[in-house]
Structure 1
Amino acid sequence: MQVKANDLYSEMQAMMRQAQAPEMRPDAVPVNSAGDKFGGLLQNAIDGVNDVQSQAGQLRTAFEMGDRNVSLGDVMIASQKSSVAFQATVQVRNKLVEAYKEIMNMPV
């Protein structure tokens, strides 16, 4: 199962817009830049994971094609970095979804 970074980011943005919808909260104040900063940080993190996965794929391909500058150790290390980064991203996503559900279940 491969999660696309843009899809995940779009889902999170939709959740954020739904949580901040002014029609649901008439006394809502305009969104400050903290939400934008968080969204930017999250997007940068997801882009970083995508870059690590791309680099691992490129190293793997280079090794398979017989590039003598790429060792098996380099490929394995890049693959493990990619795996750890992806798993960390999935855990962060799970925590965000859990927090969102908890907030949505709070009585008003």
Structure 2
Amino acid sequence: MNTPAVPSVLFVRVHNAGRSQMAAAFLTHLAGNEAEVRSAGSAPAGAVHPAVVITMGCGDACPCFPGKRYLDWKLDDPAGRDVQAVRPVRDEIERRIRGLLATLGIEAPA
């Protein structure tokens, strides 16, 4: 008996230095083994076959995978900000990840 495939999600940002990694970490933490999670810069190496591609406000600078579901999350850039200024961005990313989990049919812990 084959195990059903889990959804694959790719978070993309030009530099892959902040928001995309936070989002990938939240999804990995909340979904556990129920989703395959990756993050990448705008020119990811190797073949990627995600079920959902979520760009972090990089629009046309991010890669396009035909036939895939795309979400573009406009989020403030936390680069160069102190921890207090980054927390609202972090919290918004977590809120969106929880919403994504619901659309993927994955139950997130409280």
Q: TM-score range by the shorter chain?
A: 0.3 to 0.5
TM-score, normalised to structure 2's length?
A: 0.34
Which one has more relative contact order, counting CA pairs under 8 Å at least 6 apart?
A: 2
Higher helix share: 1
TM-score w.r.t. the length of structure 1 is: 0.35
- Which structure's residues are more often strand, by fraction? 2
**Max Rg structure:** 1
